[in-house]
């Protein structure tokens, strides 16, 4: 059919008409809010993250207060990151049953009904800032796996609903699955950071959790941004090892990767709308270069590319009426 028989504007003429033919929708249940909890903050207090305007590091009690408010607005799921008061070369506070994440999980389980995902990694707990065990300034893959298993088990023991390894060590999903199963946590799902690129968009996050490496970088274990086919291999390996959900990180610069994984696999797919994406867009809005409608449009693009779940610092704004 040709114009004038076919007129595409017929289904765009009113807001209600546009709504009934909308192809892609964002619901509160598809959003995951990243939460930073810091040890030794005064009870009930929070401190701003300078590189991420509008975001905070919370004490466990302050986090609970904030999350109860968001839960009333429809928040369903969070992902929890800890900032310890002490660090060492093996990140021992990461698997301490009295650690900041473990204590926060227990508090939130008492005060909310949220699904709690926990980030399983060593970077913010180690004195060197890398995601694994170090020897002669080299990140040791196999030696790290035991520690990741310890972290996952400690989180599950505290009450975590899902564990999410972000370290990018080879074989870590299988190692964590084995550790969980051997300790009676067969029903705890693993959300794997299956496709995590060595991205410059992480810079604000590293300031937020004080996890900048003291030497070198993470390019020997995180993926090269130039590689797309490699993403399929990484995701397939994690699924074979037992990942229940796979993730792409970052999101906006890697929409093509999200789409390719969606087409390749049936496993639920998450995407992380990371700190740099948040800070970049927030700065443009504050300068008046963009309006807040750009937030919804950017999240919509991630959903449209194929993400079932979206981890985003914009979650509170979206819950306040920015779901389109």
Catalytic residues: 196, 249
User: Nearest CA to 274 among 117, 130, 166?
Assistant: 166
Give the chain's count of helices (H) and strands (E): 11, 12
d(CA 235, CA 192): 9
The percent helix, strand, coil of the chain (3-state, each to 5) is 45, 20, 40
Q: 3-18 as b/e, with b when 16 or more CB fall inside 10 Å?
A: eeeeeeeeeeeeeeee
Q: What is the DSSP string of 142-159?
A: HHHHHHHHHHHHHHHHHT
Query: If 0-12 CB within 10 Å is exposed, 13-18 middle and 19+ buried, where does residue 72 land?
Result: exposed
52: which residues sit within 8 A by CB, 6+ positions away? 204, 205, 208, 275, 278, 279, 282, 313
* Binding site listing for Zn(2+): 121, 123, 131
49, 204 in Cβ contact below 8 A? Answer: yes
Contact between 29 and 309 (Cβ < 8 Å):
no
Place of tokens 């520690």: 147
Q: Which residues are annotated as a binding site for Mg(2+)?
A: 234
**Closest Cα partner for 105 from 152, 161, 52?**
161
Task: Count how many Cα atoms sit within 13 Å of the Cα of residue 320 in the half-sphere of its side chain.
Answer: 8
Helix ranges, 159-228 (H)? 172-182, 203-209
Feature table: binding site: 121, 123, 131, 234
């Amino acid at each position: 059919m040709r114009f004038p028989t076919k007129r595409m504007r017929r289904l765009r003429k009113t807001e209600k008409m546009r709504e009934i033919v909308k192809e892609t929708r964002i619901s509160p249940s598809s959003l995951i809010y990243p939460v930073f909890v810091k040890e030794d903050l005064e009870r009930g207090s929070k401190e701003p993250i300078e590189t991420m305007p509008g975001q905070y590091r919370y004490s466990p009690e302050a986090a609970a207060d904030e999350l109860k408010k968001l839960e009333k607005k429809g928040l369903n799921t969070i992902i929890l990151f800890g900032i310890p008061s002490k660090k060492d070369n093996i990140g021992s506070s990461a698997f301490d049953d009295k650690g900041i994440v473990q204590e926060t999980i227990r508090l939130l389980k008492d005060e909310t009904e949220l699904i709690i995902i926990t980030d399983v990694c060593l970077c913010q707990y180690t004195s060197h800032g890398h995601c694994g065990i170090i020897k002669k300034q080299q990140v040791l893959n196999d030696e790290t796996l035991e520690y990741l298993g310890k972290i996952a088990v400690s989180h599950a023991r505290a009450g975590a609903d899902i564990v999410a390894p972000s370290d990018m060590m080879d074989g870590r999903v299988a190692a964590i699955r084995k550790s969980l199963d051997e300790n009676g946590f067969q029903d705890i799902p693993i959300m794997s950071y299956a496709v995590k690129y060595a991205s410059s968009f992480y810079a604000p996050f590293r300031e937020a959790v004080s996890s900048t490496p003291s030497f070198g970088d993470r390019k020997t274990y995180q993926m090269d941004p130039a590689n797309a086919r490699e993403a399929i291999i990484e995701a397939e390996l994690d699924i074979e090892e037992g990942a229940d959900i796979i993730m792409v990180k970052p999101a906006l610069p890697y929409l093509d990767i999200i789409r390719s994984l969606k087409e390749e696999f049936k496993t639920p797919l998450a995407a992380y709308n990371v700190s740099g994406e948040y800070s970049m867009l927030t700065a443009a809005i504050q300068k008046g270069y963009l309006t807040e409608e750009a937030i919804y449009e950017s999240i919509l693009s991630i959903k449209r590319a194929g993400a079932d779940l979206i981890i985003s610092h914009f979650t509170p704004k979206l819950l306040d009426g920015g779901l389109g």
